[in-house]
């Protein structure tokens, strides 16, 4: 009887240790989180995931327009085995505006040089937030960010309009759409940027064309007065212009029916 009692006590004593082993590792996750960096799919965004660490980062030519047409994967979790999120793209792009995000990324809105409104996002992570990536990848990301800041200046927490161009290389990434400025209709980004050259920021973009000083804030690259009257695309000379949805009374004339950030799209 004493022997059975002793065995029972030992078993009870081991239960807490078994429970600790089965419980979620919350403390480990919290301790590994980098201060001031992001969380959602962060290892994929910074090439720190196993598949990202194996990428060769050899770019292939692309355009903003071609990437905006890529189909969205059915599941956004681990890096896709094939396709966009395992491909490095290089493109010549127009720089539209930039902002320093809360996760320490430089949020850069870019567009094809020949199209006015069709935009997408490129992200340049901070070196302090790329732990886990290979030394080569970290060097490429760090050098790209330094080169961009050297040419365009350090971004702030507010969007600064740009008017230059650059040749940008970055790994394809599909983000959840949550109203980001400049987001592509399929949520595709270059995230992270691993190379940038020929940067010509050109300072702040010129003001919109004159329109009596009464321009709707939702159309930052052209000057279209707010209603009344309610205008249609046939009533204005502009096509493929940018539409902002993060301002009061966005798209008052309903030029951007599919909400992809491009007005009167041709």
SS3 sequence of 36-72: CCCCCCHHHHCCCCHHHHCCCCCCEECCHHHHHCCCC
77, 145: one domain: yes
Cα–Cα distance for residue pair 88/62, rounded to 1 Å: 9
Sign of CA dihedral 67, 64, 245, 262: negative
- The answer to whether residues 68 and 154 belong to one domain is yes
Arithmetic mean of pLDDT, 129-146: 96
Quick check: helix, strand or coil at residue 255?
A: coil
Torsion of CA 220, 183, 239, 170, to 10 degrees: 110
Whether residue 260 sits in one domain with residue 138 = no
CATH number of the domain bearing residue 92 = 2.40.50.140
For residues 221 and 163, membership in a common domain is answered with no
Cα–Cα distance, 18 to 208 (Å, whole number) = 66
Is 224 domain-assigned?
Answer: yes
pLDDT of residue 11: 47
Same domain, 117 and 159: yes
Residue 69: closest CA among 172, 145, 151, 216: 172
Among 101-110, 153-162, 209-218, where is mean pLDDT lowest?
Answer: 209-218
Same domain, 266 and 164: no
Tens-place pLDDT, residues 167-223: 999 999 999 998 899 999 999 999 999 999 999 887 554 455 554 568 998 888 788
Structural tokens at position 242: 């940018």
d(CA 84, CA 61): 13
Any idea what DSSP says for residue 132? Answer: T
Within-domain flag for 2: no
Note if the pTM is more than 0.85. Answer: no
Cα angle for residues 211, 215, 218 (degrees, 5° grid): 145
Domain boundary among 200, 216, 234: 200
Structural domain includes residue 5? no
pLDDT at 9: 43
For strands 241-242 and 160-161, give the pairing: unpaired
Q: Are residues 126 and 98 in the same domain?
A: yes
pLDDT band (50, 70, 90) for residue 17: very low
Q: State which of 158, 180, 200 marks the end of a domain.
A: 200
> How many independent structural domains does the chain possess?
2
Distance CA 192, CA 169 (A): 9
Question: What are 93's strand-pairing partners?
Answer: 166
Whether 30 is in a domain gets the answer no
Cα-trace Rg, the chain = 24
Taking the C-alpha atoms of residue 221 and residue 205, their distance in angstroms, rounded to an integer, is 9
Of 146, 181, 200, the one marking the end of a domain is: 200
Is 30 in a helix, a strand, or coil?
Answer: helix
In this structure, what are the phi and psi dihedrals at residue 248, rounded to the nearest 5 degrees?
-60, 140
Residue 23 lies in a domain: no
221 in the same domain as 135 = no
Q: Residue 234: which residues within 8 A CB-CB, separation 6 or more?
A: none
Check whether residue 99 and residue 196 sit in a common domain: yes
> How much is the pLDDT for 13?
45
Range of 85's domain?
42-200
Least confident of 25-29, 141-145, 149-153, 178-182: 25-29
């Amino acid at each position: 009887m004493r022997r059975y009692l002793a065995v029972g006590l030992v078993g009870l004593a081991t239960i807490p240790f078994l429970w600790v082993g089965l419980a979620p590792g919350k403390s480990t996750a919290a301790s590994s989180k980098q201060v001031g960096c992001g969380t959602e799919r962060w290892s994929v965004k910074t090439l720190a995931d196993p598949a990202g660490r194996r990428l060769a980062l050899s770019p292939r030519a692309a355009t903003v327009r071609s990437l905006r047409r890529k189909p969205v994967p059915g599941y956004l979790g681990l890096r896709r085995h094939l396709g966009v999120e395992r491909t490095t793209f290089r493109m010549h792009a127009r720089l539209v505006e930039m902002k320093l995000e809360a996760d320490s990324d430089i949020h850069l809105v870019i567009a094809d040089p020949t199209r006015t409104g069709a935009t997408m996002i490129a992200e340049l992570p901070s070196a302090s937030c790329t732990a886990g990536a290979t030394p080569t990848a970290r060097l490429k990301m760090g050098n790209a960010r330094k080169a961009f800041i050297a040419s365009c200046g350090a971004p702030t927490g507010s969007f600064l309009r740009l008017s230059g161009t650059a040749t940008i290389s970055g790994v394809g990434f599909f983000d959840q759409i949550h109203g980001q400025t400049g987001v592509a209709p399929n949520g595709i980004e270059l995230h992270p940027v691993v190379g940038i050259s020929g940067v010509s920021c050109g300072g702040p973009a010129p003001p919109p064309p004159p329109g009596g000083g009464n321009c709707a804030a939702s159309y930052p690259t052209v000057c279209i007065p707010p209603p009344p009257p309610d205008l249609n695309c046939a009533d204005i000379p502009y096509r493929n212009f940018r539409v902002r949805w993060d301002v009061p009374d966005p798209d008052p004339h309903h030029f951007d029916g599919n909400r992809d950030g491009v007005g009167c799209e041709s």
